[in-house]
Structure 1
């Protein structure tokens, strides 16, 4: 019986301290309470007069052991406090092996591709027959173009070229294309496009066809004004 009385306290005390080792430091009152009950039991084994002293002694030891050796997870991130290099991580935040949130990913920088050169081809401006005078329908079309051009930066350079079909002499078509290109520019300037943006205004006559001049549809395609935008 004396062996049991000697060994049992050691077994129970070891069990209490082992259990406390897995608790958080803030749980030391619980350790103390469990230790106190255990101590009282140990004391009672020896004598009822030892119960109070045993409770105090074992309870104190259990609380101290829990405080010193406790290795809990205060912030609940799954990383024990002894390895947690970032204590106090907000609940629900993903952490790495050190208990720290991973670094924020580098911001994505979207590269804006600026088209350096663009050509607006105007084929719906027909002018009056054999003239460079704009019709009401022509002006309506050019008003839309003016709105578009006014959105360009002040550094954009505009080059306007007039083209004709092959009907008539080369010299005649050259002069007509010049006049039509200047008529378009004049209207665009009156509509608010800065004149300084136009770095060249010229006619190419019939020299640069884009379709077959032997057909009506082809000739219509060739009668055009092109506005080249260089940014």
Structure 2
């Protein structure tokens, strides 16, 4: 019987500590409770008076062992395994308080459109003339504000267009005058003169709609500003 009383406590104590080694630090209350029950049993093998002391001693020992050995930092990122939400982080990678690498910033590539064309259809000029109306000037002020935002290296090409009413020669001359009127007003509004590399009239030679209808002719009467960046 004396051999059993001597060996049994050692066997039970070893079992408790081995089990606690597999737990996390956050599980130490459970480890302590189990140790307390086992400790009470160990104390009772000596005498009933030893039960309380055995529970306190072995329970405390088991809890302490669990606290010291029950948690770690397997991936070495400085965050304990019980708190690490991203286990297995590669060595040397910086992590946050949760053990996770910071999100990789997304760099949006700025796509520069090399060529753009602004089509102006609502500048009507005075009848049979290249002189701008006040309403035309108001509309061109918006275009000027837009063009002034371009880099100084942008090149502007302006082409005037007419419908098919009238002779080809007359329409080509009129469209050229109107294109120059638009450019001169844009320059007055602050667009650098050096930005304009080409100003010409195409007359009725480049229609975009059917000249047989009023709507089609209105679409053909336009000024185009091509931006080359």
TM-score normalised over the length of structure 1? 0.72
SS in 1 for 2:112: coil
User: Residue 162 of structure 1 contacts residue 181 of structure 1 at CA under 8 Å; is this kept in 2?
Assistant: yes
Whether 1:161 and 2:166 are equivalent positions in the alignment is no
Q: 1:89 to 1:112 in 2, by over 3 A?
A: farther
**In 1, Cα distance between equivalents of 2:222 and 2:125:** 10
Match of 1:133 in 2: 131
The 5-angstrom pairing of residues 58-77 of structure 1 reads 71-73=69-71
**In 1, Cα distance between equivalents of 2:120 and 2:139:** 9
Whether 1:11 and 2:2 are equivalent positions in the alignment is no
User: Residue 164 of structure 1 contacts residue 177 of structure 1 at CA under 8 Å; is this kept in 2?
Assistant: yes
SS in 2 for 1:112: coil
User: Residue 175 of structure 1 contacts residue 205 of structure 1 at CA under 8 Å; is this kept in 2?
Assistant: yes
**In 2, Cα distance between equivalents of 1:217 and 1:69:** 85
SS in 2 for 1:109: coil
**In 1, Cα distance between equivalents of 2:177 and 2:216:** 22
Deviation string, structure 1 residues 108-136 (Cα, Å, up to 9, x no partner): 22223222211111111110111110001
Whether 1:221 and 2:219 are equivalent positions in the alignment is yes
Q: C-alpha displacement at 1:199, in angstroms?
A: 1.3
Match of 2:76 in 1: 85
Match of 2:183 in 1: 185
TM-score normalised over the length of structure 2? 0.72
User: Residue 173 of structure 2 contacts residue 201 of structure 2 at CA under 8 Å; is this kept in 1?
Assistant: yes
Tell me the number of residue pairs that the alignment of Structure 1 and Structure 2 aligns.
207
Match of 2:87 in 1: 96
**In 2, Cα distance between equivalents of 1:170 and 1:82:** 85
Across the aligned residues of Structure 1 and Structure 2, the Cα RMSD in angstroms comes to 3.7
Q: C-alpha displacement at 1:18, in angstroms?
A: 2.5
**In 2, Cα distance between equivalents of 1:119 and 1:82:** 61
What residue ranges of structure 2 are gaps of 5+ in the alignment?
A: none
What residue ranges of structure 1 are gaps of 5+ in the alignment?
A: 74-80
- Alignment partner of 2:141 out of 134, 138, 143: 143
User: Residue 73 of structure 2 contacts residue 80 of structure 2 at CA under 8 Å; is this kept in 1?
Assistant: no
User: Residue 71 of structure 1 contacts residue 82 of structure 1 at CA under 8 Å; is this kept in 2?
Assistant: no
SS in 2 for 1:125: coil
Q: C-alpha displacement at 1:70, in angstroms?
A: 5.5
User: Residue 73 of structure 2 contacts residue 79 of structure 2 at CA under 8 Å; is this kept in 1?
Assistant: no
Is the radius of gyration larger for structure 1 or structure 2?
1
